Chains A and B, each alone.
Chain A
Amino acid sequence: MLRASHIERGLHYSVLTVISLFMMVPFLWMVSTSLKEPAKIFVFPPELLPSPVRWANYSEVLKTIPFHLFYFNSVYIAILVTAGTAFFASLAGYAFARIEFKGRHVVFLLLLSTMMIPNEVTAIPMFLFMRELGWINTHLPLIILPIFGAGGVFAVFIMRQFFISAPKELEEAAMIDGCSRWRTYWNIMLPLAKPAVATLTIFTFLTVWNDFFDPLIFINARKLMTLPLALSLFTDEAGTAWHHLMSASVMATFPLLIVFFFAQKQFIEGVSMTGLKE
């Protein structure tokens, strides 16, 4: 006999399945198209499993555009920004939380008050400033701005919250033993902050890897482009080669999905811990 709870469970699963499918269809279609022959893209009815499977789309992307360069640019910029953010933000966050220096409350409040400033508001003077410095068409703005700009301020806030609630005993013991502030921070407190740093690392990497607005403004030269910028330019060209664009998109998406697969728990905890939004 069907009981109310069975019907309910069935309903529960069906609603979730339909919504999840909606979420996954773009990915399935992307992978599917990335393996199609150009002539088969317009075939009706649509084929989800292409036959024959055309792996050459992937190697052709690597041949027709300097895809490896875009990839390299994205990877090294994301790594530098992530490391820089973790270091400078944890250093400042620790000082704001644990060192009683004059003016810290005022400075921290000032930092906090600017956290909601949209990137787009400061973009125009920043463009002129970078032009003065001769940094347009270099990677420097893409590395410096996220570390010390609004993203960095947010990271300081997260680190300060963590250090404020971290246990005091170890730190006090270290200070009594004559550890310098630097060593207390570097050898005792930073290792203690691993969960917070991990959350911050994943977030920063994701944000930088996917950033679009800054590269669009600061980079014109083809060989300096990052993945999102390079991919977006494909859609401009008349007669898009969808099979190539889709295989490039798969390659740009895959590393993050792998990272996410392994860091899932930390990532989702990070979102709920920080209430972070893009």
Chain B
Amino acid sequence: MTNKKVNRLSREANLTGWLFVSPMVLGFILLLLVPLLTAFYMSLTDWPLLGEARFIGFDNYATIMSDADFWKVLGNTLAFAAGLVPLNIVLALLLALLLSKNFAGMGWFRTAIFVPVMTSLIVWSIVWKYMFATDSGFINQVLQVIGIQGPAWLYNPNLAMPAVIVTSVLKNVGLNMVLFIAALQQVPVHLYEAAKIDGSGRTRTFFQVTIPMITPTIFLTVIMTIIGSLKVFGQIYVMTQGGPSGSTKVLVYYIWEKAFKLYEFGYASSLAYILFFIVMGLTLVQWQLRKRWVFHEN
């Protein structure tokens, strides 16, 4: 090919390439990049609903550090994550182990566990709110059958958070389960055969073959589940509205309340940026640790 022709072709490729990606790139700039930078600027201002925005530097962040509500909310968020993540991962792994091999009825079980993933979080939360209701709720009615007077689950500061956690685990455990099933099916059979020849028992094989081989998936699901749990909102909004006495008020709920109920856009933006920093931190940790922690064959 002559140089001229190559030039013409590459110019053509440049033009079509950019034309093809331009809608997404334009959207990305306007709907992600610009708002992200704006949010940071807003976090440095006092920005009321009406009236002028005032630049105040890092004052919002300083206020947040001495805001007792913030620390309580952060504690609640971490408590949610600390309850949800281990429960979700362990249950998902157990279910994946039980459902990774073919047997009669497997499809039905997989479907039953996966259906809540499909269901709207709002519908799921509404139904569970009703299940947890003090008098008419299913749970307390069942308890009453065996002679126990059930508590007011969602109106008790000690019980509301655990109730929301269990609800959330059941809603999403199917996602992690499917990821684990896929990972389990990719463990090479010859490794199990080798373990058998070596006389490894089932428990030993599980911890020395299965677990190491699926660490990449375990790692991915743990990080993603932590990130997901830091963003919990819908179930809190429906089931408890952050109550009773603030015991389930989590970070995103607090952001939403400050921004869209109290219209303190500046303060809420700083809170949102703290969430952003935490999520970014976790994402970076994921990339860094991946190399050391995750086992690859060979």
Contacts and interface: CB of A to CB of B under 8 A. Distances in A.
Interface of A: 12-13, 15-16, 19-20, 22-27, 29-30, 33, 41-42, 44-46, 88-89, 91-92, 94-96, 99-104, 107, 110-111, 114, 116-129, 144-145, 147-150, 152-153, 156, 181-182, 185, 206, 209-210, 212-213, 216-217, 227-229, 231-232, 234-235, 242, 245-246, 249, 252-253, 256-257, 260, 264, 267-268, 271-272, 275-278
B228 A278 contact: yes
Given A27-B115, A271-B175, A92 B127 contact: no
Interface string B13-34: 1111110110111111011111
Contacts of A277: 175, 224-225, 228
B113 A123 contact: no
Given A19-B113, A44-B144, A124-B42, A249 B126 contact: yes
Contacts of B175: 271, 276-278
B12 to A, nearest CB: 8
B16 to A, nearest CB: 5
Given A111-B28, A118-B272, A277-B228, 18 more contacts: A16-B109, A20-B108, A20-B109, A27-B115, A30-B123, A104-B21, A116-B283, A120-B272, A122-B35, A148-B28, A149-B27, A149-B32, A231-B126, A234-B126, A235-B126, A252-B120, A260-B115, A275-B217
3 closest residue pairs by CB, A with B: A148-B27, A101-B17, A272-B182
A100 B32 contact: no
Q: A22, A94, A125, A245 — which one has the most chain B CB atoms within 10 A of its CB?
A: A125
B246 interface: no
A167 to B, nearest CB: 20
Contacts of A122: 31-32, 35-36, 39
Interface of B: 10, 13-18, 20-21, 23-28, 30-36, 38-39, 42, 91, 94-95, 98-99, 103, 105, 108-116, 118-124, 126-131, 135-136, 138, 141-142, 144-145, 170, 172, 175, 178-179, 181-182, 217, 220, 224-225, 227-228, 231, 233-234, 237-238, 252, 255-256, 259-260, 265, 268-269, 272-273, 275-276, 279-280, 283
A232 B256 CA distance: 16
5 contacts: A89-B24, A120-B252, A124-B272, A228-B123, A277-B225
Q: B118, B252, B255 — which one has the most chain A CB atoms within 10 A of its CB?
A: B118
Contacts of B131: 25-26, 29
B190 to A, nearest CB: 22
A1 B297 CA distance: 43
A50 to B, nearest CB: 13
Contact of B27 (A26, A147, A249): A147
Nearest to B225: A277
Given A33-B130, A249-B127, A126 B35 contact: yes
Contacts of A29: 127, 130-131, 138
Contacts of B25: 92, 107, 111
A96 B28 contact: no
A227 B119 CA distance: 12
B201 to A, nearest CB: 14
